[in-house]
Every structure is written in structure tokens, then in C-alpha cells.
């Protein structure tokens, strides 16, 4: 009998072939582009700015300028002075390069902090789940980093930032942007939809500034991607989860990110329709957290609650977290990483208002503190004891809520925003429990609900001290309390878009995916725990998982079948043995 030969699956070969062709094409294009892969062209006299953002060099005016004569006079005077002091011009080139270097280093360091938040999410989610699923939950948080990065590298970044977006503080190509946005015309206005350059970070995207921005935006995207791993924990098949990871990193996150941050249609609501400065989301309450939270809500609805979460008459049953210290440690790591998330979103530290980072850092701290304190006091009043898991979620809720307004509010407003979020997350957790949306870690309430609150709070509390020229609109960003009700309108449009896009498209995706490949593990696997069946290893091999009470007693009390999972504790495997 002829031996069977093993060939790689055809689809794998096709994917590799497409990637190879793409790499070859983009490499060829890179030879004739304006990129700077070596970093020896980026940063010059054109990047020198004072504290208000005024340039040192006077650019040559366009003949079509309204005040061309005055601009031409200033330009000629500058050119005459440059001929008198050529050394000053050469020194200015060095100053511009140093400013770009400072800003680039700031973006990279804060990006590294945000990357470390992945460890915080992993600890929080794993600690709040049961021991029998610890390896599986931790693995999802680990794998989503790799899956998300690959998807964002292949196409996500190009769709998000390969269009109208620019980051002036980085100079060079990223300072001017690709200027290649796909848009449609409606009501006589351009509506930007997605970028068209930067696939696989090849061609023009092979540039020091572009790749710096990729790193920063990739870790933001991965934050959004990891949120549903908590909302759908303890019953999500790894195979289905992997497919989801590419959906988030290539479709869901990048497209909304383009509309909000990449120069797309939400960002131009101000210039097109006079709604404030357009949709404003400084560091991602909506772009990152609400996207992840609403996606998690859709996934939790489609996948259904865990076995044993509700009694036959619909009452919720507590399935206790297995490691509270782990969850609290993860919360502290996340709070630390948030100093990269919010202050880093200035995308600069030198010139043009970059020193706002100090205000943003303090606002971030205060909102996290008041959120935690409010949640702690709420649970103490309601239950007679402070719930440590809700105190932790209250801190995260405050941090999520301040993320969008952090660049535009002072300490008092930040404290109020955080405190409201701390109460809101407690109410939201109870609400979702009552409507049978099973979220083991409270991710939907923390990131979805409080993310939307953060987006709304920009339109209320922005105080007009920062954001001059934001999204191409003259003046600083102001909320309704400071006279600009149009900004509140823009934020409401953003919230409506988030609900339709993030929740609606995610619900459609998970529904279709569940028809094609099961989202959920089999019943017997869920009851036994996902660790062995899905990962092949136990998180705690030296401990035996035993019920707090007998299965029969719990089943009788809750009117559930005796096979239903129950709260567990961990004892050494040798305990009680001869």
C-alpha cells in the first residue's frame, strides 16, 4: 500500500503566497518613496516649534492665500535674515531633529507602558475566573497580543492610519501623513472611510516615524482586543477566539479608529457640520474601551451564560473568583500602564503644548482613585462590606472614563468623572446580571458602559484650556458647561456610531461565526474546566479542585442538575491521603 503523503493545507500555501507577493511589491515601491527608514532625514528646521506651536521657519506662501502679500513680506524678511545668519539655520536643523527625537522617545516609552498593561489584563481576568479555567484565560490574554499584532501589521494599521492622519510632532512622513484616504461624498461633504497605504508596513510605511506610530497604536488596539476575553471567559473555544482576534485587529478596531483618529468622517464633524471640534476622544474611551466592551457585550449575548450562573427561576448565582490578590495586583499594573495610555496620547513632549502631559497624568490618577473609592463605598453601603473586586473594577472604570477627556479637563472635573464611573460600574454589573448577560469579570460594565460615559464627558466637561486647532477647527475644545453645545452633539454622534458599529457588527460577526464554527466548548468540558481540554495543561497541577459544598447540596439549594459546576477551593493533592 502506498504511504499517504502529508501536504500543507492549500489555504496555508495560498496565504503564504499572497504575503510573499505583497512583501515583494511593497519592497519595490519603497525604493521610489519619500520614506526614511534610516532616520537620518526626519527632523529639521521645519519641525522647530515654540511652546504655542508657532514655527521658527517661515514657509513660502501660496499665491492663493487670502493674505498673500503679508505672508510674502514675512517670508522675504526671513530669507534675508537666513542669509545673514546661516549658522542659525544650520543649528535650527539640529534643534528640529532633537525635538522629533524627544517626541519619538516619549511615544515609544509610553507605548512600552501600554504593552505592559497586557500583563495587568491577564492577571485581572485570570484572578476573577475559576481555578479550573486559569490556564485557558491566561492563554487567551497571551495569544491575543500575537494575533492582534499580526492582523494590525498586515492590514489594520493601513486601514486606520494610511490615509489622512498626521502626527506633526514626529516630523517627516508621519508629520505630513500619507494623504491617501478613501472617502465618499455625501451632502456635499467628504466622508473619510479608511486608509489605503501602509500594508504590511511596506513601501512608504517603512519609515521611522510611521513605525513608531505603529507600535503605539498596536498596543492600543491590543487593549481593545483583550477586553472580550474577560466578558466571554470560561466557555470560549480557542479556535473561535483566534478567528475573532483577526476580526478585531483588521476590521472592527481599525475602521472606527480611522473615523475618529485617522482623519475620517467622525473627526470632520466639526469642519463639515460645525459640531464643535468633531468627535473628540483624547486617548480612547470610545476608540479603545467602548469598542472592546461593546464587542464583548455582543459576544456574551451570543455565546450565552456559563453553566450554573442562573437558577431555573432566573436568579443569578455567584461563581466566585479564585484569586483575589492576583486580580488586585493586575489592577495596579493596569493603573501604572495608564500613565502611558493617557499622557502618551499627546504624541509629543516638546513644544506645541506637549507639557500638558503633567496635567493629564494627574487627571488620570485622580479619576482612578475616585472611581475606586466610590465603588468601595457603594458596595459597603449596599452589602455591608467592601467588595475588593468591585473596588478594583471601580478604579478601572474611573481610568476608562477619564481616557477620552483626560487632555481637556482639570483635576476637579477628573475627580467627578471618575467618581461617577465608580458608581456606574456597580450599577451596570447588577443590571447585566439581571438581564442574564454573564460577564465573569465585569469587562462590559468597565469598558463598554464607562467608555461611553468617558466619550460623553468630553462634551460636558472640556474646559477650553487645551486642544487648539483640534481636528482642524479653530480654538480650543470646550464642552457644554463651557459654552459649546455642538461638541456635546459630536460626542453623541460618536456614541451612536459606537453602538451601531461595535455592538451591531460584533453581534453579526459572532452570530455568523457560531453558525460556521461553535463559539462554545462542549458542556462536559465546561463543567470539568477548560484547561486540560483546550490547553492540555492545568494551571495548578499540584492542587486538587474540590467543591466548597457537595454538588448535591448546591444542586438542591439552587434546583440545578447535580452535574452543574459549583464554587471551588484548592487543597494540596496529598491533603487527607494516607
- Does the pLDDT at position 360 exceed 70? yes
User: Tell me: the pLDDT tens digits for 85-139?
Assistant: 888 888 888 888 999 999 999 999 999 999 999 999 999 999 999 999 999 999 9
Q: Mean pLDDT throughout 467-494?
A: 97
Report the pLDDT value the prediction gives residue 166, as an integer from 0 to 100. Answer: 85
Local structure of 241: helix, strand or coil? helix
Distance CA 536, CA 539 (A): 10
Query: Who's near 27: CB < 8 A, 6+ residues apart?
Result: 202
**Closest listed residue to residue 344, CA positions, set 431, 406, 251:** 406
CB 452 within 8 A of CB 287: no
Report the pLDDT value the prediction gives residue 499, as an integer from 0 to 100. Answer: 98
**Closest listed residue to residue 232, CA positions, set 290, 287, 306:** 306
Four-residue CA torsion sign, 46, 272, 468, 264: negative
Report the pLDDT value the prediction gives residue 22, as an integer from 0 to 100. Answer: 60
Query: Who's near 77: CB < 8 A, 6+ residues apart?
Result: 58
According to DSSP, residue 456 is labeled: H
Cα-only R_g, the chain: 26
- Does the pLDDT at position 52 exceed 60? yes
Report the pLDDT value the prediction gives residue 546, as an integer from 0 to 100. Answer: 59
User: How many residues would you count in the chain?
Assistant: 578
Report the pLDDT value the prediction gives residue 58, as an integer from 0 to 100. Answer: 82
Number of other residues whose CB lies within 10 A of the CB of residue 328? 18
Q: Mean pLDDT throughout 194-199?
A: 93
Residue whose C-alpha cell is 525635538: 99
- Does the pLDDT at position 368 exceed 50? yes
Report the pLDDT value the prediction gives residue 552, as an integer from 0 to 100. Answer: 42
- Does the pLDDT at position 564 exceed 50? no
- Does the pLDDT at position 558 exceed 90? no
Report the pLDDT value the prediction gives residue 12, as an integer from 0 to 100. Answer: 58
Local structure of 564: helix, strand or coil? coil
Task: Name the least confident of 54-68, 380-394, 400-414, 488-502.
Answer: 54-68
Distance CA 565, CA 438 (A): 15
Distance CA 364, CA 417 (A): 10
Report the pLDDT value the prediction gives residue 93, as an integer from 0 to 100. Answer: 85
Report the pLDDT value the prediction gives residue 571, as an integer from 0 to 100. Answer: 40
Distance CA 426, CA 433 (A): 11
**Bridge pairing between strands 181-186 and 189-195:** antiparallel
CB 345 within 8 A of CB 402: no
Four-residue CA torsion sign, 122, 123, 128, 130: positive
Residue 457: CA count within 13 A, CB half-sphere:
33
Ordered domains of the chain (ranges, CATH): 96-310+324-342+355-516 (1.10.3430.10), 542-572 (no CATH)
Task: Name the least confident of 301-305, 440-444, 548-552.
Answer: 548-552
Four-residue CA torsion sign, 73, 74, 75, 78: positive
Distance CA 240, CA 237 (A): 5
- Does the pLDDT at position 553 exceed 50? no
Task: Name the least confident of 343-352, 395-404, 425-434.
Answer: 343-352
Distance CA 77, CA 328 (A): 62
Instruction: Give residue 194's region: left, alpha or beta (phi > 0; psi -120 to 50).
Output: beta
Q: Mean pLDDT throughout 504-519?
A: 97
Query: Who's near 450: CB < 8 A, 6+ residues apart?
Result: 285, 289, 397, 398, 400, 401, 421, 424, 425, 428
Distance CA 343, CA 337 (A): 10
Distance CA 73, CA 207 (A): 36
Report the pLDDT value the prediction gives residue 406, as an integer from 0 to 100. Answer: 97
Q: What is the mean pLDDT of the chain?
A: 89
According to DSSP, residue 33 is labeled: S
- Does the pLDDT at position 549 exceed 80? no
- Does the pLDDT at position 153 exceed 80? yes
| Of residues 63 and 178, more confidently modeled | 63
Distance CA 87, CA 550 (A): 84
Element (H, E) at 193: strand 189-195
Distance CA 246, CA 426 (A): 32
- Does the pLDDT at position 333 exceed 50? yes
CB 233 within 8 A of CB 531: no
**Angle ∠(286,291,295) on CA atoms, nearest 5:** 155
In angstroms, the first-to-last Cα distance of the chain is: 54
**Closest listed residue to residue 293, CA positions, set 423, 121, 157:** 121
- Does the pLDDT at position 266 exceed 90? yes
H-assigned helices in 31-84: 68-84
Q: Mean pLDDT throughout 487-514?
A: 98
Residue 457 C-alpha cell reads as 464627558
Distance CA 439, CA 416 (A): 26
- Does the pLDDT at position 324 exceed 50? yes
Distance CA 373, CA 423 (A): 9
Residue 547 C-alpha cell reads as 467543591
Distance CA 1, CA 3 (A): 6
Instruction: Tell me the DSSP string of 480-535.
Output: GGGT-HHHHHHHHHHHHHHIIIIIIIHHHHHHHHHHHS-SB--HHHHHH-HIIIII
The crossing angle, in degrees rounded to 10, of helices 238-247 and 506-516 is: 140
Distance CA 452, CA 364 (A): 17
According to DSSP, residue 45 is labeled: G
| Of residues 149 and 13, more confidently modeled | 149
In the chain, pLDDT over 70 holds for what percent of residues?
88
Distance CA 306, CA 520 (A): 10
Report the pLDDT value the prediction gives residue 16, as an integer from 0 to 100. Answer: 61
Q: Select, from the ranges 40-49, 80-89, 374-383, the one with the highest average predicted confidence (pLDDT).
A: 374-383
User: Tell me: the pLDDT tens digits for 228-263?
Assistant: 999 999 999 999 999 999 999 999 999 999 999 999
Local structure of 194: helix, strand or coil? strand
Distance CA 520, CA 235 (A): 5
Amino acid at each position: 500500500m502506498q504511504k499517504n503523503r502529508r501536504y500543507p493545507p492549500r489555504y496555508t500555501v495560498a496565504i503564504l503566497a499572497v504575503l510573499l507577493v505583497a512583501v515583494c511589491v511593497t519592497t519595490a515601491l519603497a525604493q521610489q518613496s519619500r520614506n526614511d527608514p534610516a532616520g537620518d532625514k526626519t527632523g529639521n528646521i521645519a519641525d522647530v516649534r515654540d511652546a504655542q506651536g508657532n514655527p521658527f521657519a517661515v514657509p513660502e506662501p501660496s499665491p492663493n492665500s487670502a493674505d498673500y502679500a503679508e505672508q510674502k513680506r514675512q517670508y522675504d524678511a526671513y530669507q534675508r535674515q537666513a542669509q545673514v545668519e546661516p549658522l542659525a539655520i544650520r543649528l535650527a536643523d539640529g534643534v528640529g531633529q532633537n525635538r522629533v527625537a524627544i517626541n519619538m522617545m516619549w511615544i515609544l516609552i509610553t507605548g512600552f507602558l501600554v504593552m505592559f498593561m497586557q500583563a495587568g489584563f491577564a492577571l485581572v481576568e485570570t484572578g476573577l475566573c475559576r481555578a479550573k479555567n486559569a490556564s485557558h484565560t491566561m492563554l487567551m490574554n497571551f495569544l491575543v497580543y500575537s494575533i492582534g499584532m499580526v492582523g494590525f501589521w498586515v492590514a489594520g494599521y493601513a486601514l486606520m492610519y494610511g490615509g489622512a492622519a498626521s502626527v506633526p510632532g514626529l516630523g517627516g512622513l508621519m508629520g505630513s501623513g500619507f494623504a491617501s484616504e478613501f472617502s465618499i461624498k455625501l451632502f456635499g461633504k467628504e466622508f473619510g472611510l479608511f486608509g489605503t497605504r501602509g500594508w504590511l508596513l511596506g513601501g512608504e510605511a517603512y519609515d521611522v516615524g510611521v513605525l513608531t506610530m505603529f507600535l503605539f497604536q498596536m498596543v492600543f488596539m491590543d487593549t481593545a482586543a483583550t477586553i472580550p476575553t474577560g466578558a466571554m471567559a470560561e466557555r470560549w473555544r480557542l479556535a473561535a477566539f483566534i478567528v475573532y482576534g483577526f476580526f478585531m485587529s483588521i476590521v472592527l478596531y481599525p475602521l472606527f479608529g480611522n473615523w475618529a483618529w485617522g482623519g475620517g468622517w467622525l473627526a470632520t464633524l466639526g469642519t463639515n457640520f460645525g459640531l464643535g471640534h468633531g468627535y473628540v476622544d483624547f486617548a480612547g474611551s470610545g476608540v479603545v474601551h467602548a469598542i472592546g466592551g461593546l464587542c464583548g457585550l455582543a459576544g456574551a449575548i451570543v455565546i450565552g451564560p456559563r453553566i450554573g450562573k442562573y437558577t431555573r427561576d432566573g436568579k443569578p448565582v455567584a461563581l466566585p473568583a479564585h484569586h483575589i490578590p492576583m486580580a488586585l495586583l493586575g489592577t495596579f499594573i493596569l493603573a501604572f500602564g495608564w500613565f502611558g495610555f493617557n499622557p502618551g496620547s499627546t504624541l509629543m513632549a516638546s513644544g506645541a503644548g506637549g507639557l500638558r502631559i503633567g496635567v493629564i497624568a494627574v487627571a488620570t490618577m485622580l479619576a482612578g482613585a475616585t472611581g475606586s473609592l466610590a465603588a468601595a463605598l457603594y458596595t459597603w453601603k449596599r452589602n455591608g462590606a467592601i467588595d475588593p473586586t468591585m473596588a478594583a473594577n471601580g478604579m478601572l472604570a474611573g481610568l476608562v472614563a477619564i481616557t477620552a477627556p483626560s487632555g481637556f479637563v482639570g483635576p476637579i472635573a477628573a475627580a467627578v468623572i471618575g467618581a461617577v464611573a465608580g458608581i456606574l460600574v456597580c450599577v451596570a454589573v447588577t443590571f447585566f446580571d439581571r438581564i442574564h448577560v454573564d460577564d465573569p469579570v465585569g469587562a462590559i460594565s468597565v469598558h463598554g458602559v464607562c467608555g461611553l460615559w468617558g466619550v460623553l464627558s468630553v462634551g460636558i466637561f472640556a474646559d477650553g484650556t487645551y486642544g487648539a486647532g483640534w481636528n482642524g477647527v479653530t480654538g480650543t475644545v470646550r464642552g457644554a458647561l463651557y459654552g459649546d453645545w455642538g461638541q456635546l452633539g459630536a460626542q453623541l454622534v460618536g456614541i451612536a456610531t459606537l453602538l451601531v458599529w461595535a455592538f451591531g457588527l460584533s453581534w453579526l460577526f459572532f452570530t455568523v461565526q457560531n453558525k460556521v464554527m461553535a463559539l462554545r466548548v462542549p458542556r462536559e468540558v465546561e463543567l470539568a474546566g477548560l484547561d486540560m481540554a483546550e490547553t492540555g495543561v492545568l494551571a495548578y497541577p499540584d492542587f486538587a479542585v474540590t467543591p466548597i459544598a457537595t454538588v448535591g447540596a448546591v444542586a438542591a439549594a439552587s434546583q440545578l442538575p447535580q452535574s452543574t459546576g459549583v464554587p471551588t477551593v484548592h487543597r494540596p493533592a496529598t491533603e487527607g491521603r494516607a
